Structures are given as structure tokens and as C-alpha cells.
């Protein structure tokens, strides 16, 4: 992949003498960025542009070529690429549009392009993109004439939108941040986003990576690659509408929208997700500072009002304003002119005008072991204090490095001075108090999550009766249906999960005998392939106390089914013990198109989709992740014994989540799954599954017609 970014000779194909010709912009950018290689031009007609000859064929170029940058009509690309192959070119950037994004004719062209590329072993970027940039050697191929828009730096960009990519370049330029490499993905007909990401993770010039994604083709591979990164990866995932248009058949599928899966996946592999340009800029700035290793923060402000705003923001963000020693605060107060301010944290230095003293205070504050980081809010007049403030900022930068602790710097001054500082300070500058605090908390959360990911246990693989489980699923697949209730419960038992005792009865007499064996009270549930929601058709009876009532319940149920669901084929009646009351939880999952099996846990019961108290992860998951999922629930304080209540068996609940994760990974025919409700009992008393639905994916249920 390095050859893609470091060619020594390139040919720009599609250049003409026409002033409106787009390919001329590519040549302009290569020249403006001082590309350290040889540039050739090819066009339909001969001529001269930028002092260089325009050849009419790649074959006419006298020298060997490393790279072709192509911007010609889509219909010409297969033949041009074939000519490049004959010339010995093995890398290309195809910026032309008019392929798969334009319908069937374009998709046919894509197949032709791929056939030619594979014939010659050509790897290519695009098509339908604006190219790539490498600031290290001036290799800049976009056709918009952007020139030296941004300085060289250590941020690399992978974007599925050329326009968004250029907007991010403007953002970097405005914030004084520098670019290393830029890739506009286009249609990703050949090289995929994960390949670029793998390269940038190893690239010495790249320290930070930004992704702009509108679609994800292979979510699991993206996660695998991102997990290996020691560099921060920040991603903006747009196009967040639900990609699956089918109606969800289960609670799990209804709750776990595609965008929630993206959130979970990014969290699991350490990708930082942003939703707007302001957050993106703040994240790319704050992650340059040393890691904030805890929540304890000190705030130093020249304005009392800003100090109050900062204190509120710290509380909202979950940062602790550390208590500073009284003798330390009194030493600072001794330098005040009027002694009208009683210092606390935040340090309100409105009565102190000695900027040298500011540096000494920051030095002594950072030296304190209980302080994990600082926020310095500095308001100044650039004409009166501009130079002194710049010198102070240089001291702050040095102190942050000395103590290996972040100091988030907020400035309030005129726009010209702010612009100068952003472009020349080589240190993040913030201009909104609340955003400064949020950014510092992002620094803390990123490094905390990174430590968790590095220390996380591998997913446990439980011993299960997988062969028998497959037999159940294969039987349903052969009949073109979902699992029946008894099959679903048996499947869970084969995977080591505890289900409320049950028996399947095929008649009234069998139901009575089953109830007598299990012991009263019992529940009775209809089992029929056509009935998914049993309660809706009167297919559930609870708290049955006698044999006579069992017989009556079965007769009534049969009559109701005949009326409400006349086409149903009743397989039998599931007789269950009535479980003791306990906290109800739902565990479930579904198969996501991009990320594969996804597991979900949340507050259970009939209001699960109203309460929407749930957490999800991409499977497989470890016990650490299962426990983390539970901690994210609003009901978690109840699970661990809020207000003197008995703690519940959280460990057993987490283990059940992990077993469901394993089930979803090992039996790919499962499309959706619900355990609802599952009851959680006191610590050491386990969990009990009352009901389950297993829906096979459409691919797993072939038509029998």
C-alpha cells in the first residue's frame, strides 16, 4: 500500500487545453504541493498545459510509470485501464463518476473495470472520488484546485464523501491542525476502507485518523482492524436511518436499530464517534494532550463568570473539582491587590494581574498528585497583553509536558489573535468554556476505554450440546418455519441456560397430568407455528390452581384459537411452573447486516419498547462486556441492591448474556431472538427464563413451494 502514496512518476489522464477541463486541477495541485516526482499528461488531443506536453496515449509516454490518475468519461475507463496495464502501471486513482451510483449501465462498467484491473494486477482508488493526498511528498490528486489548503501534520483522513473531506481540510486549516494523508474512497470498487485503515495504523507519519462513513460494508473487519490501533480513530458515521426496511419481528430487532449497533461496535473497538464538526475539531485537538488518568480536575480562570460556567460543566461531565489545600490557596491570595476573593477550585484569579504568577500557580497545581488535569481559562486584550500571554502559553505547554498531564487552554480575545494562536501555537486552543471541559472529559474517557479494551478478558466459550441444538434448528429450516416455543426453550437448555420447568402436552389429559407432575400453580401456553404473539389470541393462561382449571383453560384456549386464528395448526400446549416474582429483564439479539450477531439486554416485561432501557454489543462478548452492559441500564441500581434491597444475581445474569452471545455466533441461522421475560433472583439464586422466541433469518428458511 505504501506505493500508492509514494509514487515517483505519475500520469494524469484526461488533461486538455480547454480552460474548463477538470483534470487540469489535478496537475495544478501536484505542482502547487511540490510533488517530488515526475508528472506526465495524457489527453484525447495533443497540446501543452503548464509547460508540459499532453500525450495522446499512455503508451507514448517515454518513461516507466508508477501511477495513473484518471478523470475521463466512465465509458472510456476499461480501455484506458487496459492500456495502463500494458504500460506496466500497477496503481491508479479513478476519479471519474458514472458507475454503480448511476444504475445498471454503470454496474456493468464496474464489472469491466474490475476484470481489467485483475487481469493486470492493478489496485485502484475509487471510482467516483476526488483522489488522495500525501503531504509528505506533495502527492495531491484532487481535481478541485485546493492547492496548499492545509499545512503538513499528523492527521490522516479517510472519507466516503469528497465534499465532506474538503470541509474537514478547511476545519484543520482553521484550527491550525495539519494533514498527513487524505483518501477519498468513492465507490470502493477495489481497495476497501479497512485496507486504508490498516495502512494508516502502521504509517509513521500518521498519529490521528479520521473516518467519514456513510455506509459500512464489513463491520466486523472494521472492528478487528480498529482494535489493533494504538492511534486514536475518530469517526463521523452519517446516513443513520434504519437500513433494514423489513418489519422487526422481535423486541430485540425493534430496539437495536442500525445506528445503535454502530454506536456499540465503535465503543467495543475503541473508535471515537462524533456527530458534528465542532466535536470533531475538539476531539482532534484534545487527544494531542497527555492522557488524563482520572476525574480530578483543577480550573484556573481570570473571570469569575467563566469559573462558574466551568464548575457547572465539570459537574455535568462527571469531572471532580479537586479540593486544593488551604495553605496553597492562601499563598495565592497573598498576591491579590484587594483581597476581595476567597479562593476555592475553580481558582478565580480576577484580582491577580501577574502572568508570571499564573505560570507558578499552574506549575504547583500540576505537581500535586491528586490533580489529573487542568483547565486554564484566559481572557485578555491582545494589544495590552498579547505578547505576555503568548509567553505564558509557551510556559503552559512546557508544564503540561513536564508533568505529563493535560492542560486544556481556553482563550477569550479578538478573532485575529485567536487565529494567530491556532496557527502558530502548536497546541490546542479552545474558544468555548463548556466545550473545553467536554473535550477534557473526552480525553479521559478515551484513555479509560483504551485501558479497558487492553485488559478485557476474552469471551468465554461454554461447553454446550451444539450438535443437538443444530438438529432442532435444522428441523425448523427444513420445514420453512421459525422455532416453536418448546423448541426455543429446549435450545436454551442445550446451551446451559436455566428455563422454568415445563412439559409439552398434546391433549387435555396430557396437560392435566403434566400440571400435576409439575405442581400447582401452573401456566399454559399455546404452541402453534402460525402464532407468534400468543397473548394476542388468548394463547396464554396464568396461575392455574387445579386439574379442573387446567382442562377448562385448554378447552377455552382451543375455542379462542379457532375463532381468532382459524388457520392455526396447534402442535400442543406448553405447561410450565409459575415462577416466583422477581425483577424482569429481557435478553435478546439479532443478526445485523454489517456487523453480524448483536446481543441486547434491557428492562423486560410488556413495556420493554416503551421504557427503552437497554444496552447492546456486537457478539461475541466477554463477561467484562456483559457486566458493563448491565451497568449502563437505568435499572442497574435495583440489580445491585438499591436502598437496602437484596442484591440480585448479576453474575448469573451476565453469564446468560454471554451464553446468548455464543448461541448467536455458533448458529448463524438465527435471525432474531428474545428471552422475555427473564427473572433475576437474589445473589447466588440464579436467573430463570419464562418465555423465548427464536426467529430464523430469511436465508435460513428456504421456501418449500
* Domain definitions of the chain by residue range: 2-214, 290-455, 501-578, 583-700
CA 252 – CA 617 distance, rounded (Å) = 12
CB of 541 closer than 8 Å to CB of 524: yes
| Cβ count near 468 (within 10 Å) | 12
CA 520 – CA 535 distance, rounded (Å) = 21
CA 308 – CA 346 distance, rounded (Å) = 8
| Grid cell digits, residue 196 | 486504508
Of residues 92, 170, 81, the one with CA closest to residue 131: 92
Could you give the strand order of the β-sheet that contains 208-213, starting from the edge strand earlier in sequence?
A: 139-140, 132-134, 179-184, 152-159, 208-213, 233-237, 271-274
CA 645 – CA 489 distance, rounded (Å) = 31
| Grid cell digits, residue 223 | 472492528
pLDDT value of residue 241: 57
3-state secondary structure of 639: helix
**DSSP annotation string for 131-191:** -EEETTTTEE--SS---S-S-EEEEEEEES-HHHHHHHHHHHHHHT--EEEEEE-TT-SSS
Question: Which residues are paired to 212 by β-bridges?
Answer: 159, 236
pLDDT value of residue 607: 59
CB of 218 closer than 8 Å to CB of 191: no
CB of 625 closer than 8 Å to CB of 605: no
Of residues 437, 312, 305, 447, the one with CA closest to residue 374: 437
Domain 290-455 sits in which CATH superfamily? Succinyl-CoA synthetase domains (3.40.50.261)
Contacts for 636 with CB less than 8 Å, ≥ 6 apart: 630
Residue with cell 418465555: 691
Whether cis (ω within 30° of 0) applies to the bond prior to 127 is yes
Residue with cell 490528486: 141
Could you give the strand order of the β-sheet that contains 52-55, starting from the edge strand earlier in sequence?
A: 47-49, 52-55, 38-42, 9-13, 67-70, 91-94, 123-125
Mean pLDDT by 10 residues, the chain (705 residues): 96 96 96 96 96 96 96 96 97 94 88 97 96 97 92 96 94 95 95 97 97 92 95 90 46 58 94 92 94 95 92 94 90 72 82 88 94 96 94 96 97 96 93 95 94 88 96 94 95 97 95 96 91 74 95 90 80 94 94 93 74 88 95 93 89 97 96 93 96 83 37
CA 9 – CA 6 distance, rounded (Å) = 9
Cβ-in-10-Å burial (0-12, 13-18, 19+) of 2 comes to exposed
| Grid cell digits, residue 641 | 441492591
Across 5-51, the runs of DSSP E, i.e. the strands, are 9-13, 38-42, 47-49
Question: Which residues are paired to 321 by β-bridges?
Answer: 297
CATH architecture of 501-578: 2-Layer Sandwich (3.30)
3-state secondary structure of 129: coil
Q: Do domains 290-455 and 501-578 have the same CATH topology?
A: no
Q: At what angle do helices 355-367 and 382-403 cross, to 10 degrees?
A: 20
Residue 452 DSSP code: H
Question: Which residues are paired to 407 by β-bridges?
Answer: 374
pTM over 0.85: yes
Of residues 260, 261, 193, the one with CA closest to residue 233: 193
The helix (run of H) or strand (run of E) holding residue 63 is none
Of residues 575, 589, 609, 560, the one with CA closest to residue 485: 575
3-state secondary structure of 412: strand
CB of 290 closer than 8 Å to CB of 432: no
Q: Which fold, 2-214? A: Rossmann fold (3.40.50)
| Grid cell digits, residue 366 | 500540576
CA 205 – CA 397 distance, rounded (Å) = 22
Q: Which fold, 583-700? A: D-amino Acid Aminotransferase; Chain A, domain 1 (3.30.470)
Whether cis (ω within 30° of 0) applies to the bond prior to 346 is yes
Contacts for 388 with CB less than 8 Å, ≥ 6 apart: 355
- CA distances, 171 to each of 130, 280, 439, 593 (Å): 18, 9, 17, 33
CB of 179 closer than 8 Å to CB of 151: yes
Q: For 577, phi and psi rounded to 5 degrees?
A: -60, 150
Amino acid at each position: 500500500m505504501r506505493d500508492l502514496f509514494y509514487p515517483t512518476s505519475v500520469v494524469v489522464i484526461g488533461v486538455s487545453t480547454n480552460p474548463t477541463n477538470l483534470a487540469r486541477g489535478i496537475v495544478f495541485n501536484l505542482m502547487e504541493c511540490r510533488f517530488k516526482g515526475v508528472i506526465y499528461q495524457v489527453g484525447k488531443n495533443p497540446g501543452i498545459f503548464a509547460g508540459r506536453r499532453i500525450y495522446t496515449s499512455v503508451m507514448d509516454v517515454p518513461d516507466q510509470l508508477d501511477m495513473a490518475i484518471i478523470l475521463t468519461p466512465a465509458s472510456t475507463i476499461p480501455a484506458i485501464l487496459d492500456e495502463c496495464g500494458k504500460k506496466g502501471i500497477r496503481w491508479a486513482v479513478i476519479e471519474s463518476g458514472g458507475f454503480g451510483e448511476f444504475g445498471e449501465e454503470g454496474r456493468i462498467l464496474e464489472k469491466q473495470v474490475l476484470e481489467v484491473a485483475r487481469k493486470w494486477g492493478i489496485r485502484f482508488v475509487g471510482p467516483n472520488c476526488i483522489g488522495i493526498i500525501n503531504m509528505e511528498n506533495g502527492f495531491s490528486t484532487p481535481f478541485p484546485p485546493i492547492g496548499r489548503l492545509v499545512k503538513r501534520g499528523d492527521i490522516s483522513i479517510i472519507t466516503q464523501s469528497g465534499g465532506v473531506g474538503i470541509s474537514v481540510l478547511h476545519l484543520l486549516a482553521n484550527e491550525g491542525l495539519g494533514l498527513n494523508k487524505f483518501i477519498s474512497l468513492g465507490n470502493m470498487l477495489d481497495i476497501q476502507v479497512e485496507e486504508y485503515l490498516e495502512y494508516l495504523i502502521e504509517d509513521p507519519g500518521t498519529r490521528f485518523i479520521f473516518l467519514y462513513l456513510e455506509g459500512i460494508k464489513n463491520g466486523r473487519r472494521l472492528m478487528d482492524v480498529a482494535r489493533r490501533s494504538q492511534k486514536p480513530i475518530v469517526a463521523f458515521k452519517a446516513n443513520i436511518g434504519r437500513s433494514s426496511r423489513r418489519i422487526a419481528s422481535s423486541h430485540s430487532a425493534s430496539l437495536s436499530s442500525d445506528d445503535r449497533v454502530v454506536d456499540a461496535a465503535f465503543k467495543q473497538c475503541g473508535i471515537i464517534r462524533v456527530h458534528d464538526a465542532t466535536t470533531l475539531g475538539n476531539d482532534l485537538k484534545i487527544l494531542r494532550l497527555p492522557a488524563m488518568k482520572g476525574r480530578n480536575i483543577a480550573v484556573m480562570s481570570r473571570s469569575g463568570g467563566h469559573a462558574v460556567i466551568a464548575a457547572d460543566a465539570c459537574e455535568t461531565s462527571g469531572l471532580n473539582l479537586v479540593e486544593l489545600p488551604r495553605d496553597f490557596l492562601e499563598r495565592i491570595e497573598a498576591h491579590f491587590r484587594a483581597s476581595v476573593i476567597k479562593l476555592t477550585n475553580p481558582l478565580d484569579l480576577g484580582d491577580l494581574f501577574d502572568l508570571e504568577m499564573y505560570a507558578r500557580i499552574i506549575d504547583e497545581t500540576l505537581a500535586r498528585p491528586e490533580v489529573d488535569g487542568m483547565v486554564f481559562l484566559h481572557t485578555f486584550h491582545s494589544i495590552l497583553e498579547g505578547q505576555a500571554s503568548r509567553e505564558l502559553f509557551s510556559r503552559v505547554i512546557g508544564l503540561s509536558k513536564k508533568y505529563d498531564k493535560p492542560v486544556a487552554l481556553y482563550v477569550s480575545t479578538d478573532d485575529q489573535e485567536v487565529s494567530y494562536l491556532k496557527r502558530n501555537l502548536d497546541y490546542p486552543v479552545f474558544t468555548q468554556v463548556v466545550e473545553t471541559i467536554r473535550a477534557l472529559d473526552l480525553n479521559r474517557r478515551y484513555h479509560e476505554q483504551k485501558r479497558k479494551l487492553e485488559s478485557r478478558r476474552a469471551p468465554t466459550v461454554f461447553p454446550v450440546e451444539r450438535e443437538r441444538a443444530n438438529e432442532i434448528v435444522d428441523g425448523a429450516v427444513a420445514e420453512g418455519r421459525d422455532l416453536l416455543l418448546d423448541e426455543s426453550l429446549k435450545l436454551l437448555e442445550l446451551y446451559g441456560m436455566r428455563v422454568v420447568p415445563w412439559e409439552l402436552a398434546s391433549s387435555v389429559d396430557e396437560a392435566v397430568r403434566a400440571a400435576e407432575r409439575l405442581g400447582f400453580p401452573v401456566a399454559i401456553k399455546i404452541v402453534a407455528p402460525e402464532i407468534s404473539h400468543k397473548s394476542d389470541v388468548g394463547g396464554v393462561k396464568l396461575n392455574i390452581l387445579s386439574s379442573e382449571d387446567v382442562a377448562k383453560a385448554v378447552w377455552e384456549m382451543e375455542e379462542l384459537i379457532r375463532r381468532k386464528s382459524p388457520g392455526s395448526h396447534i402442535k400442543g400446549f406448553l405447561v410450565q411452573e409459575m415462577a416466583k416474582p422477581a425483577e424482569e429483564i429481557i435478553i435478546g439479539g439479532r443478526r445485523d447486516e454489517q456487523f453480524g450477531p448483536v446481543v441486547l439486554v434491557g428492562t423486560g416485561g410488556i413495556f420493554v419498547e416503551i421504557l427503552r432501557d437497554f444496552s447492546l454489543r456486537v457478539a461475541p462478548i466477554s463477561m467484562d462486556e456483559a457486566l458493563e452492559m448491565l451497568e449502563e441500564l437505568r435499572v442497574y441500581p435495583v440489580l445491585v441492591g438499591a436502598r437496602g434491597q437484596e442484591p440480585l444475581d448479576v453474575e448469573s445474569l451476565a453469564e446468560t448474556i454471554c451464553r446468548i452471545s455464543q448461541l448467536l455466533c455458533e448458529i448463524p441461522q438465527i435471525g432474531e431472538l428474545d428471552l422475555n421475560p427473564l427473572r433475576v433472583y437474589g445473589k447466588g439464586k440464579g436467573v430463570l427464563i419464562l418465555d423465548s422466541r427464536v426467529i430464523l433469518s430469511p436465508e435460513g428458511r428456504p421456501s418449500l413451494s
